[in-house]
Copies of this chain bind each other. A is one copy, B any other.
Amino acid sequence: MTIKVFGHKSPDTDSTGSPIIWAWYLNEVEGRDAAPALLGEPNTEAAFMLQRWGLDKPQIIDGVGAGDPVVIVDTNNPAELPADINAADITAIIDHHKLVGGIETKGPIDITVRPVACTATIMHDLMGAEATKMPDPIKGAMLSCILSDTLEFRSPTTTDADRKLAETLAADLGVDIPGYAAEMFAAKSDVSAFSDAELLRMDSKEYEVGGKKFRVSVLETTSPETVLARKASLVAAMDEVAREDGVDQVLLFVVDILREEATMLVPNDLTRQVAEKSFATVCGDDTVVLPGIVSRKKQIIPNLAV
């Protein structure tokens, strides 16, 4: 039976590229029968990556069957996976996020979690010498995943391993990193096709702190003014999304990749209180600029307070 390899819901570039990379490895190096899959439409940056490297868009699935062999990449969080994930035959997990608990396996399996910026970086390490066999589109996907997750090495999650691997891949492929990253970020910044609710859920994780539940949404963009021009309708959608998703509030951080700062929307008392307690800052009318804040994992979540 074909092993399905997939990342988290609302797939970004790493959760789209890493399944393609690992399915390639399982098929071509290990001689297994594997296929990448997606738990939703890839975002605009991930779609750009697929097109740029001539990769087929993986099949979009909305669940897994009991006993289906699967490999989970780029997450270990059941909330970001199909509801029936623990009924599947999970054969491996490759991830770079904190362990949240909740995934259970039927027997001992291969699990590799490393504190690096990108799942693809771990995969390169796991491949060892076999990595040289990667064809250009797979190398291109790997490079794209690293540039996306590190925001072209700007994110504090970036490690030497991520950076060196990206530089080696780029040299090998004859890709100019600043030019290619600019194309990727422009693709990610084109949010015109999305509704406000879609934008709020696009790159979003739920967290609980101080007895309150938040959907912490991040929009990484090179054109924050495009997003902030929609501020009024985004704020209106925040209440609706919060209600529908059963959280107390949506926290939206518009990350300016190039200026390396985030603008947080603070339209009401609870969001203002979170902003001021978490980042020791003073809010403006309905937004607050947080200089240097670009990483949810390293900078937003660890500081979150109510």
Interface residues of A in 90-136 (CB under 8 A from B): 93, 95-116
Q: Number of contact residues on A: which range applies?
A: 20 to 34
Distance between Cα atoms of A280 and B105 in the complex (Å): 25
Determine if A179 is an interface residue (Cβ-Cβ < 8 Å). no
Give bound CA distance, A115 to B5, whole Å: 19
Q: Is the CB of B99 within 8 A of A109?
A: yes
Q: How long is the Cα–Cα vector from A152 to B297 in the complex, in angstroms?
A: 45
A211 at the interface (CB under 8 A from B): no
> Shortest CB–CB separation between residue A74 and chain B, in angstroms?
11
A98 CB contact (under 8 Å) in B97, B109, B115, B297: B109
A112 touches B115 (CB 8 A): no
A107 to B97, CA, bound (A): 7
A174 contacts the other chain (CB 8 A): no
**10 A-B pairs with the lowest CB-CB distances in the bound complex, closest first:** A111-B113, A108-B115, A99-B105, A101-B101, A98-B105, A101-B104, A98-B107, A101-B102, A98-B108, A96-B108
Q: Is A210 an interface residue (CB 8 A)?
A: no
Does A31 sit within 8 A of B, measured CB to CB? no
Q: Known contacts A101-B101, A101-B104, A108-B114; can you find 8 more A-B pairs with CB under 8 A?
A: A93-B99, A96-B108, A98-B109, A106-B302, A109-B113, A111-B113, A111-B114, A112-B113
Bound Cα distance A297, B96 (Å): 28
Which residues of chain B are within 8 angstroms of A298 by Cβ–Cβ distance?
107
Mind listing 17 A-B residue pairs with CB under 8 Å? A93-B99, A97-B108, A98-B106, A98-B107, A98-B108, A99-B103, A99-B104, A99-B105, A101-B102, A101-B104, A107-B298, A108-B113, A108-B115, A108-B116, A109-B115, A112-B112, A112-B113
Among B108, B109, B110, which residue has its beta carbon within 8 angstroms of that of A297?
A: B108
C-alpha gap A104/B97 in the complex (Å): 11
Kindly state the separation between the CA atoms of A102 and B298 in the bound complex, as whole angstroms: 22
Quote the shortest CB–CB distance from A167 to chain B (angstroms): 22
Q: How far is the CA of A96 from the CA of B105 in the complex (A)?
A: 12
Q: In the complex, which residues of chain B have a beta carbon less than 8 angstroms from the beta carbon of A106?
A: 98, 302
CA distance A100 to B101 in the complex (A): 8
A111 and B111 contact, CB distance less than 8 A = yes
Task: Decide if A101 touches B103 in the complex (CB within 8 Å).
Answer: yes
**Inter-chain contacts of A116 with B (CB < 8 A):** 108
Structural contact, A107 and B115, CB atoms closer than 8 A: yes
Closest to A298 in B: B107
A141 to B102 Cα, complex, angstroms: 33
Name the residue on B nearest A86 (C-beta): B101
Shortest distance between the CB of A216 and any CB in chain B (Å): 15
